Amino acid sequence: MRKKLFLSTLIITLITLTFCILAVNLVFHQQFSNYLAKTSETAIEQLPTRLSALYQSKGTWDSVSFDEISQSLPVGTAVTLTDPNGKQIASFSNMMGDMMHGQGGMSMGMSMSMSSSITNWKTKTLTVSGPQGILATANVQYPGPILNPQDILFQSSVLYSLLFAGGLALVFGIILSFFTSRRLAAPEEQELALL
């Protein structure tokens, strides 16, 4: 009787823990993806203001400043800037951001493979305005949320924390199941002994 009680409470504990870990992990991944998407959208929406401020401070378009702005864009974003007449002013992108900074030729290969693996591309046309009126039009192409190495590391650490907490809960569940089954089965075993 004691063994059956122990095994049944242990199975219930295992099933409950498994469902809890899976549910928390699923919700976390969904919320984290939403967070990354909102962060990307915010960075894209701020682009016209940043470009306008750049033009106002220099009085002209500066290619070095484009490089700085590109590093702050979401990974995979490409921007084509054209003047009000449709003539291209500049084109800049953040294919791998700071992750690939200083890795030379390797970054191009990885950028190409990343571009070919992305299926969810979005486009936006943003107007860059200043006191003089329309300064330029920014055609922005960017992917859905992409996990960079820091994001993947963060997700892994959350998963490991969940598994660690689940393991601790399982150990406590085993201990509680053992003592509970012993205590519940003790009166019945005493009755059988008296018979």
How far does CA 37 lie from the centroid of its chain? Answer: 8
pLDDT at residue 122, rounded to an integer: 86
CA contacts within 13 A on the Cβ side of 153:
3
Q: Give the pLDDT band of residue 102 (cuts 50, 70, 90).
A: very low
CA 90 to chain CA centroid, nearest Å = 30
Asked if 139 contacts 127 with a C-beta cutoff of 8 angstroms, the reply is no
For residue 119, pLDDT over 80 is answered with no
Regarding predicted confidence, which is higher, 182 or 165?
A: 165
pLDDT at 87: 92
CA angle 58, 62, 65 (to 5 degrees): 95
When pLDDT is averaged across residues 171-176 and rounded to a whole number, the result is 86
Q: What is the mean pLDDT of the chain?
A: 79
The amino acid at residue 138 is: A
Q: What is the pLDDT of residues 48-98, one digit of tens each?
A: 999 999 888 888 888 788 888 888 888 888 999 998 888 998 898 887 644
Determine whether 75 is exposed, middle or buried from the number of CB atoms within 10 Å of its CB (0-12, 13-18, 19+).
buried
Q: Are 171 and 33 in contact (CB under 8 A)?
A: no
Can you name the residues that pair with 78 across neighbouring β-strands?
93, 141
* Confidence (pLDDT) at 99: 42
178 close to 6: Cβ distance less than 8 angstroms: yes
Mean pLDDT of 18-37: 88
CB 75 within 8 A of CB 148: yes
